[in-house]
Amino acid sequence: MTALPVKLASDLGEGNTAPKWLIDGLWSESAVGVLGGEPKCCKSFLALDAAVSVASGRPCLRSFAVRRSGPVLLFPAEDPHAVVRRPREGIAAAAGQSLCDQPVHVITAPKLMLDSPRDRRRLDETVEGIKPVLLVLDPFIRLHAIDENVAAEVAPLLGYLRDLQRRHDVAVMLVHHARKDARGVRPGQALRGSSDLHGRGDSNLYLRRLSSGLRLSIEHRAAPGRDNVPLELAEHETGCALRILDTADAPPDPAHATRDAAGRILDALAAAARPLPGGDLRALCRMRADTFWRQLGELVEAGRVERTTEELYRLPE
């Protein structure tokens, strides 16, 4: 038998380990992942917002910069075409774009089954012809006839999507439902079906509707994430679009409010991609000024947070 090849960790090439983004901080360039949430949590609105943003090059949710724009391919399995068009018009209006300016291609076939060899070939040919940079499949439950709870049945479908991503250099966003009775668990653990749906994602987004409003959580395999980003569905003349609320003015998430002040500050710095001014850090933590500054001072004195000469705050390296 031939032994497996082995190298010392110190001999491995360093390479460029910085994440490459399709949408900065929201979706990595080559991600295959899940956009999940309970019913009526605006999952399709967020998927359409990402599609319009990538197609137009405008920031997603008017906040997350697009790093690679281009054609988008979308399969809305549950919505009539007219229903898909109206939210796109609202999102385009919010982004200051015209609907006709966006290369968002909608698959109009009545069904697409990822466990069907024939439909896989047809999807392959469609992706090859359009060459999208983002493929949105919405929702997963309408895309197969397998048992979602059986990992051995889910894994081949996710493997096919990974193979599609690699062969065509296309990011894949799979919209999926969360369980209705999943309050109190981590968002990724609330997804319906096999844990593979959560575990295999390169970038995953989760929407939750709490008593304090709609919240977005962001996670990545190889980059910091974000939690409890407050959103609302705002109406425009031509339709509706999601928008991020000012975190300093947003109503607090009760689960977030019960956490200790030090933990909230450390979590916010861990999720940040750069050192933060004190005012920005306080806005992320949504804390009273006296509590925030007292706790931040104690963390700096204890060496758990560093204050730079530019009066920015970061975690020690």
- Confidence bin at 108 (pLDDT 50/70/90): very high
Residue 85 has pLDDT above 50, yes or no: yes
Mean pLDDT across the stretch 219-233? 89
Query: 70-79, 87-96, 263-272: which has the highest mean pLDDT?
Result: 70-79
Three-state SS string across the chain, please? Answer: CCCCCCCCHHHCCCCCCCCCEEECCCEECCCEEEEEECCCCCHHHHHHHHHHHHHHCCCECCCECECCCCCEEEEECCCCHHHHHHHHHHHHHHCCCCHHHCCEEECCCCCCCCCCHHHHHHHHHHHHHHCCCEEEEECHHHCCCCCCCCHHHHHHHHHHHHHHHHHHCCEEEEEEEECCCCCCCCHHHHECCCCHHHHCCCEEEEEEEECCEEEEEEEECCCCCEEEEEEEEEEECCEEEEEECCCCCCCCCHHHHCCCHHHHHHHHHHHCCCCEEHHHHHHHHCCCHHHHHHHHHHHHHCCCCEECCCCEEECCC
User: What CATH number is attached to the domain comprising 137?
Assistant: 3.40.50.300
285 and 187 assigned to the same domain? no
Number of domains in the chain: 2
Residue 71 has pLDDT above 70, yes or no: yes
**Has residue 222 been placed in a domain?**
yes
**Has residue 6 been placed in a domain?**
no
203 and 273 assigned to the same domain? no
pLDDT more than 70, % of the chain: 83
Q: Is the pTM of this model over 0.95?
A: no
Query: 92-101, 104-113, 232-241, 263-272: which has the highest mean pLDDT?
Result: 104-113
222 and 288 assigned to the same domain? no
Residue 288 lies in domain: 259-314
153 and 222 assigned to the same domain? yes
- Confidence bin at 258 (pLDDT 50/70/90): very low
